[in-house]
Chain A
Amino acid sequence: MNQPKTIHELEQKSIQYRRKTLQIIKQAKAGHTGGSLSAVDILNVLYNRVMNVSPENFHDPDRDRFVQSKGHSVEALYVVLADQGFYPMAALDTLNQYQSHFIGHPTRKVNGVEQNTGALGHGLSLAVGMALAAKKDGRSYRVFTLLGDGELEEGSNWEASMSAAHYGLDNLTVIIDYNTLQITGPIESVTGITRLPEKFAAFGYAVRQVDGNSIPALTAVFDQLPFAPGQPNLILAHTVKGKGVSFIENQVGWHHRVPTDAEFAAALLELDEAEQAWERSNGSR
């Protein structure tokens, strides 16, 4: 496992991850911009602070496991895995290209990816199976899965939730990237995805809510795992779709829009300014 990094260091990583995510989407001329940017900080904290998984132990049965159920936000995942050393960052130049292993949804052809995902409503059942296997085998590894909020419209998530609670999977943590937007519009305008904390609690989760774009807040909530013995953990991560670039934030149209040259330059400028501000803060937190 990597040396634990400070919150200050992780905040810089998030800026760098956002820059690289935009760059590979721009280069590939395709990608899920808004959802990747909303999920960056969650992936950052998971891989750099929380999970015991690395290129060295990826085939160890005791490694922690991550399943990205919202597979469309693959660009952020590929960037974070490259930063972990699963492959060179330059490999991402082939994203979506003919015969590339870097498919536009997570694939086990890419080192570091546990399961092929992309169709919504699959990751939670997979994660339940993995967590149940740990219980059966007396292993102490933990399982994390990241779901979108619109994804919760798939009924299979609620089937899986019943099993997670039934088997008392406190080694399972479900994170909802609650950016409140899906491709058609605000999730509550699409269908009745309301009262999520109450729904998840009623399904048997120990629920925590957090600012999902705050490194210190995410770090603090993951440090509390497991939230309650014998209950699966659920983190409702309130995020901003497109977080980090002002004109992408909270814009439905940026679900899978690719920046123009001018937008890309403006986005990089904002991220550069954010990094300069980070340097001035210099760990004073």
Chain B
Amino acid sequence: MEAGKANLEVFAATLLRLAQADRDILVVTSDSRGSGKLGPFAQALPQQIVEIGIAEQNLVGVSAGLASAGKKVFAVSPACFLTARGLEQIKNDVAYSDNPVKVVGISAGVSYGALGSTHHSLHDLAALQAINNIDIVVPADNFETRAVIETAVSYPRPLYIRFGKAAMPHLHAPDAHFAIGKAITLMEGSDVTFIAIGETVARAAQAAHLLAAQGIAAGVISMHTLKPLDATAVLRAAASSQAIITVEEHSVYGGLGSTVAALLLQNRLNPAFKIVGIPDEYTVTGSQSEIFAHYGITPAALAATAQSLLFDPQMSQIHADFLD
């Protein structure tokens, strides 16, 4: 896969380009213009950046007020603070009051690595999924990032977008089609399908290539939109492959895996199934990629998970144990 930039850089460049042509686009920051790579934006368009200071509740509330008056508002702050400190404002002032703010969580998941749990956002997808009237998009690569930002400008509903800051390989052809709520199938596979979101999609795609070399047909779906979930894509994958593995940079509770599991079960589908994410424990210290490796989110580990799900009799034994 060809190397690309960090999604964060693509976000900042795309937003600057769009804002130069549209004075209604505003970026609202909480002392986060540096973290958001928004220095060039601030320099080029000082009238279109609103600095709030380190005050995430006010960041979201002011953004909602601006959006209510017709501004196209991107509220940009590290996902860890934005979706915890500002959660009630997202719930009430954005979602409930239906102010179409684009809530942008930067350096999401475990992007901050060794800075620790205060700076990780492993709860945000769970928290926001349970709130009515806000859609959730986690782009996987530069193409999806550019596309979601372009779509977001005139998106009529509240929207949460979160991404990290690691360089991402290109996953899609430049003419690929992106629409919120419509998953993108990268590979089809009759043995196992990875349904992945965000920065884990590239790792799942690499795992699928490893599996292909081992004679296993693995599919990969970039489920960039968590809500509304593309149920058709999930059900089609479950119907056409024996095993489903979800992969996410989030707690194993309440994110993509839980949502896919609920969908499958309520449709009477019971494929071999595994949720790969960050387990419910104090997250290990390390860089993002070290944390990923620790919890099995590497191409080799994901391929091994697929192998064991398909072929390991112990995995079947676990199911049998629960029946006793």
Contact = CB atoms under 8 A, between A and B. Distances in A.
Contact of A116 (B57, B70, B96): B96
Contact of A163 (B62, B93, B98): B62
B88 interface: yes
B61 A129 contact: yes
Interface stretch (B48-56, B154-162, B173-181): B48-56
Contact of A108 (B52, B88, B97): B97
A61 B93 CA distance: 19
A134 B57 CA distance: 21
Contacts of B68: 114-115, 126, 129-130, 133
Nearest to B65: A129
Chain A contact patch, size range: 20 to 34
Given A115-B93, A122-B92, A128 B62 contact: yes
Contact of B55 (A114, A129, A133, A162): A162
B3 interface: no
A156 interface: yes
B67 interface: yes
Interface string A152-183: 00011001101100100000000000000000
B66 interface: yes
Interface residues of B, number: 28
A116 B158 CA distance: 15
B319 to A, nearest CB: 44
B182 interface: no
A80 to B, nearest CB: 20
Given A136-B26, A159-B58, A130 B65 contact: yes
Nearest to B85: A156
Contacts of A128: 58, 61-62, 65
A61 B61 CA distance: 19
Contact of A126 (B50, B55, B64): B64
B55 A132 contact: no
Contacts of A117: 92
Contacts of B26: 136
Contact of A137 (B50, B69, B93, B96): B69
A132 B67 CA distance: 11
Nearest to B50: A132
B191 to A, nearest CB: 49
A196 interface: no
A121 interface: yes
Nearest to A132: B66
A167 to B, nearest CB: 8
Nearest to B69: A133
B89 A132 contact: no
Nearest to A162: B53
A136 B22 CA distance: 13
Contact of A127 (B47, B65, B96, B98): B65
16 contacts: A108-B98, A114-B68, A122-B92, A122-B93, A125-B65, A126-B68, A129-B63, A129-B66, A129-B69, A131-B65, A132-B50, A133-B65, A156-B61, A162-B53, A162-B58, A163-B52
Interface of B: 26, 47, 50, 52-53, 55, 57-58, 60-71, 88-89, 92-93, 96-99
